[in-house]
Structure 1
Amino acid sequence: MDLSEILIRPIQTEKADILREKNRTYEFHVRKDANKIDIAKAVESVFNVKVDSVHTVIRKGKAKRLGRFESQYPDRKRAYVTLHSGHKLDIFEGA
């Protein structure tokens, strides 16, 4: 698995904005088979920053229904990446 394939996309919500402002924590959707070490290496190599810690959460997909048929959205893995002091990601800053 290539390091650039681990990070799927950043998460930009109001809760993510609050975390980012309070304690330099950024949220990403990541591949389900990626572990914390791979996620930290991917963030460090892609953004040239120093990662302090990584926490991961698997969010269960919601059930959906169309008529009498039932299916489910896929599960997603989120990574909460905390950076060392003095480091920040410029992709989240408004232009």
Structure 2
Amino acid sequence: MAKQDILKKIVVTEKASRLNRMGQYVFMVERHATKNEVKKAVKFSYNVDPVSVNIVVKPPKRKKLRGLKGTQRGYKKAIVTLKKGHTIDVA
């Protein structure tokens, strides 16, 4: 898979904004993506040097609404820490 396809979108939430001030950025990524692939994709897409990558996986959750059973989608997100002085424009 191409490097630009690994990163789905950048997460913009209160918690992610707090992390941005500390040089960490949160991305939704493909479920099969590894830490090294995410690191290379961020370097390729944003031209910055990632120091580390932490991965969080939320598994699918079973839900029931008015007797109908279904599942809530799971996702995988990556928290990328950048070198001092490097930033990504979130806006």
TM range (shorter): over 0.9
Structure 1 residue 73: Cα displacement: 1.2
Question: Once the two structures are superposed, what CA deviation does each residue of 1:29-82 show, in whole Å capped at 9, x if it has no partner?
Answer: 000100000000000000000010000010133433232121111110010000
Structure 1 equivalent of residue 31 of structure 2: 32
Structure 1, unpaired ranges of 5+? none
Q: Identity across aligned pairs (percent)? A: 35
TM-score by length of 2: 0.93
Structure 1 equivalent of residue 14 of structure 2: 14
What RMSD, in angstroms, separates the aligned Cα atoms of the two structures?
1.2
The amino acid of 1:88's aligned partner reads: T
Structure 1 equivalent of residue 43 of structure 2: 44
Q: Give distance in 2, aligned partners of 1:8 and 1:42.
A: 11
Secondary structure, counterpart of 1:87 in structure 2: coil
Quick check: 1:59 aligned with 2:58? yes
Structure 1 equivalent of residue 3 of structure 2: 3
Q: Give distance in 1, aligned partners of 2:84 and 2:13.
A: 22
The amino acid of 2:33's aligned partner reads: A
Quick check: 1:70 aligned with 2:74? no
Structure 2, unpaired ranges of 5+? none
TM-score by length of 1: 0.89
